[in-house]
C-alpha cells in the first residue's frame, strides 16, 4: 500500500530547553504533546493514535497516555530504533491512518540525559542484555569510536579529507547563528574545526554532535482533517525504513541502511534526489552526513566529501541546504536521539516557516532522514519525503 498523500503533518513542536533541570521526562513529553496539538489547532480529545519510543518512562505509551491525558486511544506503537525511531513513527502513523486505525496520530519524544547525568546512554536500553556483548566487550561503547572507524575507512577508500568533514560543521554553524535556542551559535571556520581536540582519530571535537535535554512532537492527520485546519498543509508522499547490522563482522563500513530506506521513499514519492531542494540529515557526526548524502543518491558513493566542501550545504550559498536549525552538531540532540528534530525542521522548511535568513526559496519538496544506532554496527534508517500542498 502506498502512503502517498494518505496522511498530513498538521502540528509540530520543539521544546526550547537544552537542559531540563527540574523538569521530569514525563513532563517534557506532555509539554511537547500540548505544543504540537496547539500548533495544529487540535486538542488531546482529538488524538486516537499515540507513538513513542523507549525514552517514554514507565510502561512507555501506556504510562504516557494516562499522564498526558489521552483517553480516546485506539492505536498505539512503541517502536524503538534509536535516533531514527521518530521517522519510523511518522511512517507507521501514516500507515495506521491509511488503514483506518486512527484519525489523529501524536508522536512524542523527550529525554533529559544531561540533567540525569546519563552521558551518552539511551533511555530504556540495557546494553548488558545484548547477546553480542561478549564479542564487543573489549571495545569501548562510546559511539564516537564506531563513527571514527567509518570516517577512517571512507578516507582510505575515497580520499575524503578532514577538511571536507569540517565543512559539514561549518555549514551547521552558519545556520545555528540564526536560531535563538541553538546550543552553539558561533560561526566557525574549517580551521577552527581542525584546531579542536581529536576525540577519536580522525574525528575532532567539532565533528561531534551536541548532547542536550528536551524533545519534540509531531501530529499527523487524515487528509480531510488537514483541509479543515488553518495550518499550511504538509503531505507525506514517501517513506522508507531499513536495517543494517554487522553480520558477524562481515560488514562494509562505507554505506548505511539509507541505501534501502531512501530508495523506497523516492520510489513511493515518484521523485528523485534532483527534485529535493532541502534536506534534514542526521548529523551525529560530520561523517554521518557525508555517508547519508551518498546513500540517498545526492552524489555518487565516494563523492560525499567533495559534495559538502566549499559551503555547498549552506542555505543561500550551496546547492543543497541542510539542517537549517543548526542540526545536532550545533542546535539540539535531545536524549542523544536526533531524528525528531530532523522532522521538525523539514516541516518548517516545507511550510516556509524556517528563519528568514535560512529559508530556502523552493521548498515544495523536502527530505528528512535519520540513522539510529551506530553506522559501524547495528542501525536502522528512516527516510521521509514531504510535499507542501
- 171 and 54 inside one domain: no
Say if residue 322 is in the same domain as residue 380: yes
* Same structural domain, 290 and 152: yes
**Domain membership of residue 30 as a residue range:** 8-125+213-235
Q: Are residues 204 and 231 in the same domain?
A: no
Same domain, 21 and 144: no
The half-sphere exposure of 365 on its side-chain side, counting CA atoms within 13 A, is 15
Instruction: Output the pLDDT for position 101.
Output: 98
Domain end among 235, 270, 303:
235
The C-alpha atoms of residue 307 and residue 298 are separated, in whole angstroms, by 9
Asked if residue 1 is part of any domain, the answer here is no
Per-residue pLDDT tens digits for 44-82 = 999 999 999 999 999 989 999 999 999 999 999 999 999
Residue 362 located in a structural domain: yes
Per the model's pLDDT, the better-predicted residue between 378 and 127 turns out to be 378
- The CATH number for 221's domain is 3.40.47.10
Please write the tens of the pLDDT for every residue from 199-251: 999 999 999 999 999 999 999 999 999 999 999 999 999 999 999 988 877 88
Give CA separation, 222 vs 93, 228, 247, in Å: 10, 10, 39
Peptide bond into 47 cis (omega under 30): no
- H/E run at residue 356: none
- pLDDT surpasses 80 at 97: yes
Sign of torsion over alpha carbons 32, 345, 62, 245: negative
Rounded to 10 deg, the angle between the 61-68 and 25-40 helix axes is 60
Residue 132 lies in a domain: no
Residues 117 and 155 grouped into a single domain: no
Is this structure's pTM higher than 0.85? yes
- 246 located within any domain: yes
Q: How far is CA 282 from the centre of its chain?
A: 5
Q: Is residue 29 part of a domain?
A: yes
Task: Kindly state whether residues 74 and 202 are assigned to the same domain.
Answer: no
Measured CA to CA, the distance from residue 162 to residue 305 in angstroms comes to 9
Residue 160, domain member (yes or no): yes
- 156 and 117 fall within a common domain: no
The mean pLDDT value for 3-26 works out to: 96
Statement to judge: residues 322 and 357 lie in one domain: yes
C-alpha cell at 126: 540495557
Residue 133 domain flag: no
Among 201, 235, 269, give the residue marking a domain's end: 235
Mean pLDDT of 338-357: 97
Cβ-count burial 267-304 (b if 16+ within 10 Å, e if not)? ebbebeeeebbbbbbbbbbbbbbbbbbbbbbbbeeeeb
Q: Look at residue 315 and tell me if it is in a domain.
A: yes
Please state the domain count of the chain: 2
Are residues 382 and 352 part of one domain?
A: yes
Work out the average pLDDT over 15-38.
Answer: 97
- pLDDT for residue 365 is more than 70: yes
- Residue 137 in this model has a pLDDT that exceeds 60: no
132-145: average pLDDT: 66
Burial class (CB in 10 A: 0-12, 13-18, 19+), 202: middle
Q: What is the mean pLDDT of residues 352-380?
A: 95
Q: What is the mean pLDDT of the chain?
A: 94
pLDDT of residue 118: 74
Contact (CB, 8 A) for 164 and 308: yes
Q: Specify whether 87 is located in the same domain as 183.
A: no
Q: Give the length of the chain.
A: 389
- pLDDT-based confidence at residue 285 (cuts at 50, 70, 90): very high
Q: Is 179's pLDDT higher than 60?
A: yes
- DSSP letter at 319 equals S
CA nearest to 333, candidates 128, 12, 149, 111: 111
Q: Which of 113-127, 239-253, 284-298, 353-367 has the lowest mean pLDDT?
A: 113-127
Paired sense of beta strands 365-373 and 379-388, if any: antiparallel
pLDDT value of residue 192: 98
On whether both 180 and 253 belong to a single domain, the answer is: yes
- Calculate mean pLDDT across residues 359-375: 95
Amino acid at each position: 500500500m502506498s502512503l502517498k498523500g494518505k496522511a498530513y503533518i498538521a502540528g509540530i513542536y520543539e521544546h526550547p530547553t537544552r537542559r531540563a533541570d527540574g523538569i521530569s521526562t514525563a513532563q517534557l513529553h506532555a509539554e511537547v504533546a500540548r505544543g504540537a496539538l496547539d500548533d495544529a489547532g487540535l486538542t488531546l480529545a482529538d488524538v486516537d493514535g499515540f507513538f513513542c519510543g523507549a525514552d517514554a518512562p514507565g510502561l512507555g505509551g501506556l504510562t504516557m497516555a494516562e499522564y498526558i491525558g489521552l483517553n480516546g486511544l485506539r492505536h498505539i506503537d512503541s517502536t524503538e530504533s534509536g535516533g531514527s525511531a521518530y521517522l519510523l513513527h511518522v511512517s507507521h502513523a501514516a500507515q495506521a491512518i491509511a488503514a483506518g486505525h486512527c484519525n489523529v496520530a501524536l508522536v512524542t519524544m523527550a529525554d533529559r540525559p544531561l540533567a540525569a547525568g546519563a552521558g551518552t546512554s539511551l533511555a530504556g536500553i540495557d546494553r548488558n542484555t545484548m547477546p553480542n556483548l561478549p564479542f564487543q566487550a573489549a571495545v569501548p561503547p562510546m559511539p564516537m569510536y564506531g563513527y571514527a572507524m567509518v570516517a577512517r575507512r571512507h578516507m582510505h577508500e575515497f580520499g575524503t579529507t578532514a577538511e571536507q568533514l569540517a565543512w559539514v560543521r561549518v555549514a551547521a554553524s552558519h545556520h545555528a547563528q540564526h536560531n535563538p535556542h541553538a546550543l552553539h551559535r558561533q560561526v566557525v571556520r574549517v580551521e577552527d574545526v581542525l584546531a579542536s581536540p581529536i576525540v577519536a582519530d580522525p574525528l575532532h571535537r567539532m565533528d561531534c554532535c551536541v548532547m542536550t535535554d528536551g524533545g519534540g512532537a509531531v501530529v499527523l492527520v487524515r487528509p480531510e482533517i488537514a483541509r479543515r485546519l488553518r495550518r499550511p498543509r504538509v503531505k507525506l508522499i514517501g517513506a522508507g525504513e531499513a536495517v543494517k547490522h554487522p553480520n558477524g563482522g562481515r560488514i562494509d563500513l562505507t554505506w548505511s541502511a539509507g541505501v534501502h530506506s531512501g530508495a523506497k521513499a523516492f520510489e513511493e514519492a515518484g521523485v528523485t534526489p534532483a527534485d529535493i531542494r532541502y534536506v534534514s540529515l542526521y548529523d551525529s557526526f560530520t561523517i554521518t552526513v557525508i555517508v547519508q548524502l551518498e546513500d540517498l543518491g545526492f552524489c555518487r558513493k565516494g563523492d560525499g566529501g567533495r559534495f559538502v566542501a566549499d559551503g555547498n550545504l549552506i542555505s543561500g550559498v550551496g546547492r543543497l541546504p541542510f539542517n537549517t536549525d543548526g542540526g545536532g552538531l550545533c542546535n539540539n540532540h535531545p536524549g542523544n536521539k536526533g531524528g525528531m528534530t530532523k522532522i521538525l525542521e523539514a516541516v518548517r522548511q516545507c511550510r516556509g516557516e524556517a528563519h528568514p535568513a535560512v529559508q530556502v526559496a523552493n521548498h515544495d519538496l523536502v527530505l528528512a532522514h535519520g540513522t539510529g544506532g551506530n553506522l559501524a554496527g547495528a542501525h536502522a534508517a528512516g527516510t521521509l519525503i514531504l510535499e507542501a500542498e
